[in-house]
Amino acid sequence: MPKYYEDKEEDERACSGVREDLRQCLLESPCVLQENKSPKQCLREGHCRSLQVTFFACKRSMVSVR
């Protein structure tokens, strides 16, 4: 679920909402909190896979096909 904050600076990059959701998912995952692994390691192990796929699809849609 997307989270919104009043005092947070706006991220103007493409797919910033999905990027933030993926970041939060990883930081709140048991892999990071209990196993003390880095978010990058947890992502490789398949945590938050649906958000990773959504983020990839968003970034891929930004590429211009000629």
Q: Cβ distance 14 to 20 under 8 Å?
A: no
Asked if residue 15 lies in contact with residue 62, where contact means CB atoms within 8 angstroms, the answer is yes
Assign 2 a pLDDT band (cuts: 50, 70, 90). Answer: low
Instruction: Give 8-52 pLDDT, tens digit per residue.
Output: 566 777 888 999 999 999 999 999 999 999 999 999 999 999 999
Q: Which residue has the higher pLDDT, 43 or 1?
A: 43
Contact 19, 57 (CB under 8 A): no
- Whole-number pLDDT of residue 63: 83
Q: What is the pTM of this model?
A: 0.76
